Amino acid sequence: MFKKILIANRGEIAVRVIRACREMDIATVAVFSEADRGALHVSKAGEAYCLGPAPARESYLNIEKIIATAKRSGAEAIHPGYGFLSENAAFARACGEAGIKFIGPSPSAMEVMGSKTRARQAVEKAGVPFVPGSSRGLSLAEAEAEAVRIGFPVMIKAAAGGGGKGMRMVRSASELKAAFETARSEAQRSFNDGEIYLEKLIENPRHIEIQVLGDEHGNLVYLGERECSVQRRHQKVMEEAPSAIVDEDMRRRMGEVAVQAAKSAGYTNAGTVEFLVDNDRKFYFLEMNTRLQVEHPVTEMVTGLDLVHLQLRIAAGEKLPFRQEDVRIRGHALECRVYAEDPDNNFFPSPGRITRLAQPSGPGIREDCGVYEGWVVPLDYDPMLSKLIVYAPDRASAIARMQRALDEYFVGGIKTNLALIRRILSDPDFVAARIDTGFLDRLLTGRNGAGQPSGELDEVAAISAAFFAMAAVHNGRDGDAPAASRQNASPAWKRAARSEALRNP
């Protein structure tokens, strides 16, 4: 086993990995930008080194500085977390060339699954079902012909896409040219790659993913599914395991297909195969994420497995300590992503000092947190503060437990999405598991006529607003950054990371 590991990330995932290393008696090295000098992960690690200024390109995306820091500190391996360089094949390759173990899949597996068109080609050869459409980039004329072949409506997608960038829905031939050109332009700006392909639009799908885990001795297993349909603009907000619509037979079939897809890329370590599921419960390959997912805790809760421990053991050359038939799904887990953002103001980030922090606890409650009271949330990175996870014997009990936990949760000095999470949990469609990828958009616009805030929630919102206003006055600021800065800053780190990955194939 490794004696020392560097964590090339920040926030809650860096803290999560540090804790796992401490349990395994592995020394830890944190890296940080100047904006993160006082961050929680810096104080939790055994050693910490500054990479440079706040911009991600000069710090968390700087491969040379991270490798040099690993060598300087004597770290034998690097855990990339998620985001930043976690799916960057050039980074994984640079680690290997420097004699440092990359805790994740091989660079070649990343390259196969990192492009949606290459991934489609790989799984097609393996016989994995995927959404009808093209398996390579198309010109406008080819896209028009493909749309006629598979039938409208269609989705135009960027091959290097993520987070909804370079994606457009087209319902008729008259809309296709403008949508194609807009998507291609956005893809080029966001990912430095204008490759565009087409898929048949699946109406009101559920987004369900399968966790896979493979060692370096040819053993590969699936660890059940996660329901990720509660999302806004293709960004997940809440996840749960298991899915309410997946029975044992469907879980087995999806799991076997996920393993088949992973094997087609020669995959090792932790990864996630994502599927769209239609109204007839038919599932189609969407993409593979070649890293640990944000939502991995719900899988840990229902399987009793520690995925970070297993990642480290796999990277150290150990075999998986169990077989597929040993995996059991028990109970139900929910995860809510807590963001420093204002849902009432177009979800703009809300940076600033956390003046008060009351965190939930009690039976079945877990919080993976990256902040503390007094910490100043920077504008430079993803606005996630923490992940609140609950476990209970069944879904109804898990929802009730999450509602109780949220009643204990308070973040002062900045705005958060906690009120929105409460609203989701009380929505009749969510409670009945009638959800799909359009659920949250319908809830936000009131199109489903359900889940509107009650008088009690209105009162809570008013009290919270008053508290935020007083805190802002007390701190001598208006509580928000200028709208223009907020608008431009939120996705910048993600665009930079993706562009960096594609710039260094």
| Domain parsing of the chain, residue ranges | 4-103, 132-201, 206-473
Q: What are the pLDDT digits (tens) for 232-245?
A: 988 899 999 999 99
Q: Which of 28-32, 117-121, 355-359, 472-476 has the lowest mean pLDDT?
A: 472-476
Helix (H, G, I), strand (E, B) or coil at 158: strand
Specify whether the CB–CB gap between 233 and 329 falls below 8 A: no
- Angle among Cα 103, 160, 488 to the nearest 5 degrees reads 95
**Number of residues that this document lists for the chain:** 505
Handedness of CA 71, 72, 74, 79 (dihedral sign): negative
Quick one: DSSP state of residue 333?
E
Phi, psi angle pair for 447, to nearest 5°:
-75, -20
Specify whether the CB–CB gap between 193 and 187 falls below 8 A: yes
Q: What are the pLDDT digits (tens) for 177-210?
A: 999 999 999 988 877 788 999 999 888 899 999 9
Q: How far apart (Å, rounded) are the C-alpha atoms in residues 188 and 267?
A: 28
What pLDDT, on the 0 to 100 scale, is given for residue 193?
Answer: 85
Architecture of domain 4-103: 3-Layer(aba) Sandwich (3.40)
What pLDDT, on the 0 to 100 scale, is given for residue 131?
Answer: 85
Specify whether the CB–CB gap between 414 and 352 falls below 8 A: yes
What pLDDT, on the 0 to 100 scale, is given for residue 128?
Answer: 85
Confidence grade of residue 161 (pLDDT, cut at 50, 70, 90): confident
410 is written with which tokens?
């308070």
Instruction: Please say if the pLDDT value at position 263 is more than 80.
Output: yes
Q: How far apart (Å, rounded) are the C-alpha atoms in residues 323 and 345?
A: 48
Query: Which of 234, 216, 266 has its CA nearest to residue 111?
Result: 266
Summarize the confidence of residues 277-293 as an average pLDDT.
Answer: 93
Phi, psi angle pair for 178, to nearest 5°:
-65, -40
Q: What mean pLDDT, rounded, does the chain reach? A: 89
What pLDDT, on the 0 to 100 scale, is given for residue 482?
Answer: 32
Q: What is the dihedral of CA 30, 36, 37, 42, to 10 degrees?
A: -30
The active-site residue out of 206, 232, 291, 337 is 291
Query: Is 291 one of the annotated active-site residues of the chain?
Result: yes
Summarize the confidence of residues 411-420 as an average pLDDT.
Answer: 97
Architecture of domain 206-473: 2-Layer Sandwich (3.30)
What pLDDT, on the 0 to 100 scale, is given for residue 473?
Answer: 38
What pLDDT, on the 0 to 100 scale, is given for residue 163?
Answer: 64
For domain 132-201, is the CATH number 3.30.1490.20?
Answer: yes
461 is written with which tokens?
């919102």
Q: What are the pLDDT digits (tens) for 33-49?
A: 999 999 999 999 999 99
Q: What are the pLDDT digits (tens) for 346-389?
A: 999 999 999 999 999 999 999 999 999 999 999 999 999 999 99
Q: What are the pLDDT digits (tens) for 217-226?
A: 999 999 999 9
138 is written with which tokens?
């198309």
Summarize the confidence of residues 246-269 as an average pLDDT.
Answer: 96
Confidence grade of residue 495 (pLDDT, cut at 50, 70, 90): low
DSSP 261-309: HHHHTT--EEEEEEEEE-TT--EEEEEEE-S--TTHHHHHHHH---HHH
User: Which positions ≥6 away from 49 have C-beta within 8 Å?
Assistant: 29, 30, 31, 32, 69, 72, 73
Q: How far apart (Å, rounded) are the C-alpha atoms in residues 48 and 293?
A: 24
Q: What are the pLDDT digits (tens) for 288-307?
A: 999 999 999 999 999 999 99
Q: How far apart (Å, rounded) are the C-alpha atoms in residues 368 and 386?
A: 6
273 is written with which tokens?
């195969």
Q: State which amino acid sits at residue 449.
A: G
Summarize the confidence of residues 255-280 as an average pLDDT.
Answer: 95
Helix (H, G, I), strand (E, B) or coil at 96: helix
Q: What are the pLDDT digits (tens) for 93-126?
A: 999 999 999 999 999 999 999 888 888 888 888 8
Query: Which of 31, 124, 125 has its CA nearest to residue 70?
Result: 31
What pLDDT, on the 0 to 100 scale, is given for residue 127?
Answer: 84
Q: How far apart (Å, rounded) are the C-alpha atoms in residues 264 and 200?
A: 23
More confident residue, 454 or 98: 98
